[in-house]
Amino acid sequence: MKTLLIIDVQNDFMPGGALPVPDGDKIVPVINSMQHKFDLVVATQDWHSKDHASFASNHKGASIFDEIEIHGKPQTLWPDHCVQGTKGAELHPNLETLKFEAIFRKGTDKEIDSYSAFYDNSHLKSTGLTGYLKEKGTSQLFICGLASDICVYYSIYDAFKEGFACFFIEDASKPLNTEEFKEIKKKMINLGIQMTSSKSI
């Protein structure tokens, strides 16, 4: 079964949002245009509590994008974003969701961040996505969304480790940091992740 996994296409990651990804809104029509090509469509939402440990505002004297350590792991401090129940956490209003069979929420534990759609950053807690996809019979997993260099990359990495044949849809994804993503893309290619586009599927 050919599955599309759409990562975090939420208002806070759009231009004007709390943590904007450059041109993040440009991927919405691309994602809409290709959903009909898949047997199964699944999405994720970043879904944080107000007191989330990854927010700079919850660390006295800290600044946005500072690097600290939480539970022995490096943690980038982010602006408050995708807070549960807020407009910023909602999916982009123009994103077509009728084909979505499930939405998996991540980053719900206030003590630890969760970039990946599959696990938190310490791999202590699963979202249940692996089991869901395997039960549905997913063989090929096509992944897109925001941001290419963070949540999309970590989701692809975990999906690959879970045994899925993984495809990264380049024109349906955007990075937060273009320069860093150049190196990350090389890592993905070296792993065996296949690069594709919405028109090639």
Instruction: Give the residue numbers marked as catalytic.
Output: 8, 106, 151
The pairing of strands 165-174 and 194-196 is parallel
Alpha carbon of residue 107 to chain centroid: 11
- Residue 183: how many other CB atoms lie within 10 Å: 10
